Amino acid sequence: MTVQPNSVEARDQAYQLHSYTNARALERDGALVIDRGEGVYVYDNNGKRYIEAMSGLWSVAVGFGEKRLVDAAVRQMSILPYYHTFTGRTHGPSVDLAEKLIQMAPVPMSKVYFTNSGSEANDTAMKIVWYRSNALGKPEKKKIISRVKGYHGVTIASASLTGLPNNHRSFDLPLSNVLHTTCPHYRVFAQEGETEEDFVARCARDLEDLILKEGPDTVAAFIGEPVMGAGGVIVPPAGYWNAIQAVLRKYDILLIADEVICGFGRTGEMFGTTTYGLQPDIITVSKQLSSSYQPISALLINERVYAPLADESAKIGTFGHGFTASGHPVAAAVVLENLAIIEERDLVGNVRELSPLFIKRLKALEAHPLAVEARGVGLIGALELHPRDGFAAGQLGPKFAALMLDKGVIGRAIGDSIALCPPLIVDEQQINTIFDTFEASLDAFAKEIGAA
């Protein structure tokens, strides 16, 4: 791409440091400028249309340009544009939303705590777990177990929970009291001759071995995404969550379900917790919560977590935690409207109805000579490309995603996997277009890299 002087691209290069980007490559190549969106589509500054088959960052459930969310924001802005929930203050939108989330919760929950991003929600979850252990007179019970390839965010605590090298390397992370156990990706992590059932049993055994090695009295919580997203869309094998939860119960370890991607319909149930039979003590949500029209996230905590926390706050005199924008009234109003749309239009029903087509077409790509594995559930999936001579691991994915982008479909390269996670409002025809383009792109890519 040639970047014109004084263009948006040039000023972007001049002034902005980007997330998840090679800064030197951006200085050379420039960024793609997205100007507007409508439904499942976004348009760049040359007017080219793309199907946003990643919903932005796994998040725009109701699609781009939803007027009801705009109106909800404007309405709330004109009544009360800001107030906080510190020191015994509150406001209607945060109360309405807390009540709504408790009603929607997939397992009995006591209280909602508002934060502004998935990272902040998981960071707060870790602090709450520590606070609770101190409240219970177990100051040594502080370690948190996460999984290799888990993704929980990028703050110092949540990046530590994340089990991906790029989030640790050169940041001096993870923190020493965060441990990572086996990733439930059968094809990659199974040992020679291990059946899927054996593999699940070993995942549970690895977890138990780690707990015993560390000392059960030092382990406070386990955090996991029902389906791992940013680690490459890793769908757990049958029986995995039951086996893991049996170990957690045995050693009195809390379960934190990170529903930041799965929450609000992605897996074909309102929560991944229901799809996989989880019994979490803490649930973190964000992304589809507001369809990302506003930055907001939340923790749902059960009585086991809330009661000691409340006692400790009474002892100390305050729960010394909170963000200026926690439960922001405009964000809360937008979330309430977004959840109303998800329910009124039965978007979870739409996921269930279209998932068989989505999965069938995804699985069909597995037969392509470039592919090694297709994984998916509900309306989230990924196709992993075969390693190839002449390409380092992780090089093929971004090259392929760039080619598919050129053909008008936005997917996301995660190493050599290409993830898809379309808005929940997607229809049958759009799903077929996504996969027709994916297939055509695979054929074109095979020609380009000489593998036809």
List residues near ligand PMP by CB under 6 A.
Answer: 57, 117-119, 122, 151-153, 225, 229-230, 258, 260-261, 286
- Residue number, 52 or 225, with CB nearest to ligand PMP: 225
Smallest gap from Cβ 268 to ligand PMP, in A, equals 17
Smallest gap from Cβ 153 to ligand PMP, in A, equals 4
- Residue number, 152 or 180, with CB nearest to ligand PMP: 152
- How many Å apart are CA 335 and CA 93, to the nearest integer? 9
- How many Å apart are CA 290 and CA 305, to the nearest integer? 25
Smallest gap from Cβ 45 to ligand PMP, in A, equals 25
- Residue number, 118 or 184, with CB nearest to ligand PMP: 118
- Residue number, 221 or 260, with CB nearest to ligand PMP: 260
Smallest gap from Cβ 157 to ligand PMP, in A, equals 12
Smallest gap from Cβ 285 to ligand PMP, in A, equals 10
- Residue number, 66 or 258, with CB nearest to ligand PMP: 258
The residue of the chain with the least Cβ separation from ligand PMP equals 118
- Residue number, 148 or 440, with CB nearest to ligand PMP: 148
Smallest gap from Cβ 326 to ligand PMP, in A, equals 14
- Residue number, 13 or 117, with CB nearest to ligand PMP: 117
- How many Å apart are CA 340 and CA 245, to the nearest integer? 32
What contacts 308, CB < 8 A, 6 or more positions away? Answer: 132, 135, 136
- How many Å apart are CA 155 and CA 365, to the nearest integer? 36
- How many Å apart are CA 284 and CA 262, to the nearest integer? 10
Smallest gap from Cβ 422 to ligand PMP, in A, equals 16
Q: 246: closest CA among 200, 179, 185, 215?
A: 200
Smallest gap from Cβ 270 to ligand PMP, in A, equals 16
Smallest gap from Cβ 69 to ligand PMP, in A, equals 18
For residues 26 and 11, the answer to whether their CB atoms sit within 8 Å is: no
Distances (CA, A) of 302 to 308, 416, 442: 11, 39, 47
DSSP-derived pairing of the beta strands 178-181 and 409-410: unpaired
Give 173: exposed, middle or buried? Use CB within 10 Å, 0-12, 13-18, 19+: middle
- Residue number, 289 or 434, with CB nearest to ligand PMP: 289
- Residue number, 66 or 225, with CB nearest to ligand PMP: 225
Smallest gap from Cβ 25 to ligand PMP, in A, equals 22
- Residue number, 30 or 163, with CB nearest to ligand PMP: 163
Residue 289 has what DSSP assignment? G
CB crowding 384-408: b at 16 or more within 10 Å, else e: bbeeeeeeeeebbbeebbebbbeeb
For residues 51 and 434, the answer to whether their CB atoms sit within 8 Å is: yes
Q: 51: closest CA among 400, 434, 379?
A: 434
- How many Å apart are CA 26 and CA 380, to the nearest integer? 29
- Residue number, 124 or 441, with CB nearest to ligand PMP: 124
- How many Å apart are CA 54 and CA 58, to the nearest integer? 5
What's the length of the chain?
A: 452
Smallest gap from Cβ 256 to ligand PMP, in A, equals 11
- Residue number, 208 or 258, with CB nearest to ligand PMP: 258
Residue 222 has what DSSP assignment? E
- How many Å apart are CA 263 and CA 165, to the nearest integer? 25
First-to-last alpha carbon distance for the chain, in angstroms, is 27
Smallest gap from Cβ 108 to ligand PMP, in A, equals 23
- How many Å apart are CA 343 and CA 329, to the nearest integer? 21
